[in-house]
Chain A
């Protein structure tokens, strides 16, 4: 698995030139080797962090986690439109302690808000992997469940849970902001009951998820794990 990223023979699509390992001559004449996929990322696979404390302590942790949901402002498909009224006075999700953050490092909830094209899936995977554990994924709308109206599209995936662990789906095309608020409350219940173990599931079944991801993303030009 380690060599796959740099081996052109294994993938049908050739690696872009700027991502290949090469020797670069600096302005001072000093030559150095650059391997863009290895130099800036960690290759360590994600580890499981199972609950280790007694139940009452874990319950307390889970309660705390459920009350601090920070959403990554990553919009795909039409569902991103539904999040605008949600974060503004009309529906005001902030009163439930739910807020949006601009970067994956500061967020723990990834909402896939509609269809995912293969091109966006690649970015969504990177965003998910860069988030800190414990992290949660919500799939919005029928597109993430079974493809929805894009069931015969050449470029959109049909099942989100093949590529990343999903804690909760919200059905609808598109679900209204009220449905999302209900979804947040349900997600809080799932977290409090200790069942939102998506990040651990991802670490445990890492090979399978990577296999599924690489099956559709043919120009895999990133490290296998890139936090």
Chain B
């Protein structure tokens, strides 16, 4: 993995590398470099398969992280390329022309994280939700409990117990000497 990092470093400015396992590493890259890097990885390094495209909301840092996980089948290795974007009005370049599957991921990210991918086919269509009007639900400032309590009717009589305390009470009612 370090070899790959050094080879890439010769062509692209790269951020830090996190080596998760022998065959899995994550590299932080600039948004401007991403497209060239993906093409380089696909055509020259043999990372021909886009495993997934997903996002992480680092709300404390005010950033959204996109992870492009690529797989090299011949060498059984995975590399994740991380791109950090601002949280407000996030727009990212579409890569559906490099991997057509990205179209579906981008539709999902548009709906769940509110990241726009201009030019991606059907990106504004409903993906899993229908008629959603609140902020995108996977953003961490979305309060799912408050939303559920506001919108869905509640039935009284629901109790919540701490599992540890409850089982202790049940198994050792006298305190368990």
Contact = CB atoms under 8 A, between A and B. Distances in A.
A216 B131 CA distance: 9
B133 interface: yes
Contacts of A118: 129-131
Contacts of A158: 148, 152-155
A146 interface: yes
Interface in A74-132: 118-119, 122
A157 B155 CA distance: 11
Interface residues of A, number: 24
Nearest to B142: A154
B155 A216 contact: no
Contacts of A64: none
B21 interface: no
A212 interface: yes
A72 interface: no
Nearest to B152: A158
A122 B133 CA distance: 17
Interface residues of B, number: 20
Contacts of B147: 154
B131 A145 contact: no
Q: Tell me what chain A mostly uses at the interface: helix, strand, loop, or mixed.
A: loop
A153 interface: yes
A152 B145 contact: yes
A51 B118 CA distance: 60
A152 B160 CA distance: 13
A159 B130 contact: no
Interface string A169-185: 00000000000000000
A119 B130 contact: yes
Given A158-B155, A217-B131, 8 more contacts: A13-B133, A119-B130, A152-B144, A154-B137, A154-B148, A157-B152, A159-B152, A216-B151
Interface of B: 128-134, 137, 142, 144-145, 147-148, 151-155, 157-158
17 contacts: A12-B133, A118-B129, A118-B130, A119-B129, A122-B130, A147-B152, A147-B158, A151-B148, A154-B137, A155-B137, A156-B152, A157-B152, A158-B153, A159-B153, A159-B154, A218-B130, A219-B131
Interface of A: 12-13, 118-119, 122, 145-147, 151-159, 162, 212, 215-219
The 4 lowest CB-CB distance pairs between A and B, nearest first, are A219-B131, A218-B131, A152-B145, A13-B131
